[in-house]
Amino acid sequence: MSKIKSKNSLDMTSEEFKEYGYQLIDWVADYLDNIEKYPVLAQIKPGEVKSQLPGKAPSNGENFDRMIDDLNKIILPGVTHWNHPNFMAYFNSTSSGPGILGELLSAAFNANGMVWKSNPSGTELEETVLNWFREIIGLPSNYFGVVYDTASVSTMHAIAAAREYTGLDVRTNGMTGLPKMILYCTEQTHSSIEKAALTLGIGLNGIRKIATDENFAMLPDKLEEAIKEDRLNGYHPFCVVATIGTTSSTAIDPVDAIANICAIEKIWLHVDSAYAGVTAMLPEMKNFFKGMEKADSLVINPHKWLFVPVDFSILYTSKPDVMKRAFSLVPEYLKTTEESVINYMDYGIQLGRRFRSIKFWFVLRYFGVEGLQQRLREHLRLAKLFAGWIDENPNFERLAPVYFGTICFRANPNNNLKEDQLNVLNEKLLNVINETGKIFLVHTKLKGKFTIRLVISGLRMEERHVEFAWKLINEKLNELKNQ
């Protein structure tokens, strides 16, 4: 059914848009229905996609049918399927029907929310849904939210605000001639904190990593000591980053104790809860978030575990005035007369911003708070179930506590191999598992041990998928043992 496009129309005609639009909606629905038929991890070699694409863009417009053909033939085989229920790598992030439809609308409006006037609905919807979510996770009403693309960018803005909070007027004078600013975190802190430091002129040497306990959580006493020592040496401690749910092992820094130190020392506390933060929606998880209401800033990514398609990261801050002081710069053409409105351009580097709130609004409304809580609870249940299987099996051991939906483990058959042999064995095991294309896991290193991570956060994940993963892991370990 190839329809020749109208030569007279500037855009695609509405007939054509509907025809291909309906076709693509069908395509997406079938794709999601059949998601389990695809290999989780793209089974292609580097360069394979590129080699099938022409070296030059077409001179004349092409028919949409051909694009869809190429989508199926060239692009689809090179996609790693994050929506697949056996995708248990990284922090799995899945999209959802309402999230996908929200993205469609945001592209359709193409409204750029620099200032209130340039997209009033986008501005006010963002404010509204972030206030809803603030209440859902139990943050006090003095927190102000901003949406950025990723946690890395949210955190960079938070640390820039921390730098502004020193009162050293870096905004005007830059960093030269100032005492060395020091940021505190741990070995387990996400690399985005280091990226922020190298972007903001703090430098990697401005980061001091505080020792952790046996569960990889920051030791507050050590933090206190380090701050005192740095002050004696003429440095300027300015920021602590505490994590609730670290990337490697989902460790939880004692935010409450750290917050008390920061309050005494007048140091900005940023809490990175990019992954685990959404579980603050559950009353039974509240103890993991003790003290979060004392943070100066806090990052949570609904695109990691709340079925909002990437990208969607929220930064909450109790000091929006400081963020604004760090970033507000209003050229003449952007001066507006409306008072008491938010102009989101004042809270960050970027001027233009997408209409992202619409997809979060759709997800919150479609599933409802209870619907989302139910799904999160099921993931937490499945994680405990899998952890139990590991704990009961003499061929495996768990290498970190399971607080959320992530299990860190390794094969350790009957406890009779040396550490270096175990590292080799587990790396092999992970590779043969991933080579099947049936599930996808990644590893980390914990105390030098090669650690396999299994993450349960996909919208389409059920108990049978976790059972399947467990069976496959056992099968592959047995094959390796018998070699």
Contacts with ligand PLP by CB under 6 A lie at: 91, 150-152, 190, 192, 243, 245-247, 272, 274-275, 301, 313
Cβ burial 372-384 (10 Å sphere, 16+ → b, else e): bbebbeebbebbe
Distance CA 354, CA 212 (A): 39
Residue with tokens 């399971």: 402
Which H or E run includes 417?
none
Q: Are 407 and 384 in contact (CB under 8 A)?
A: no
Residue with tokens 């005492």: 179
Q: Are 118 and 351 in contact (CB under 8 A)?
A: no
The answer for residues whose C-beta is within 8 angstroms of residue 315's C-beta and 6 or more apart is 145, 146, 147, 148, 154, 155, 157, 158, 297, 298, 299
Residue with tokens 């233009």: 352
User: Where do the DSSP E strands lie in 324-471?
Assistant: 396-398, 406-411, 442-446, 449-455
Least distance from ligand PLP to the Cβ atom of residue 241, Å: 9
Cβ burial 401-422 (10 Å sphere, 16+ → b, else e): bbbbbbbbbbbbbeeeeeeeeb
What backbone torsions phi and psi does residue 268 show, to the nearest 5 degrees? -65, 135
Q: Are 360 and 96 in contact (CB under 8 A)?
A: no
Half-sphere exposure of 204 (CA within 13 A, CB side): 5
375, amino acid identity: R
Least distance from ligand PLP to the Cβ atom of residue 65, Å: 35
Least distance from ligand PLP to the Cβ atom of residue 334, Å: 28
Q: Are 87 and 440 in contact (CB under 8 A)?
A: yes
The answer for residues whose C-beta is within 8 angstroms of residue 11's C-beta and 6 or more apart is none
Residue with tokens 């799995």: 92
254, amino acid identity: P
Q: Are 100 and 336 in contact (CB under 8 A)?
A: no
Least distance from ligand PLP to the Cβ atom of residue 192, Å: 5
Distance CA 344, CA 117 (A): 11
Distance CA 252, CA 230 (A): 25
Please list the residues that pair with 252 across neighbouring strands. Answer: 244
Of 244 and 469, nearer to ligand PLP (C-beta) is: 244
Of 91 and 184, nearer to ligand PLP (C-beta) is: 91
Of 390 and 455, nearer to ligand PLP (C-beta) is: 455
Q: Are 160 and 119 in contact (CB under 8 A)?
A: no
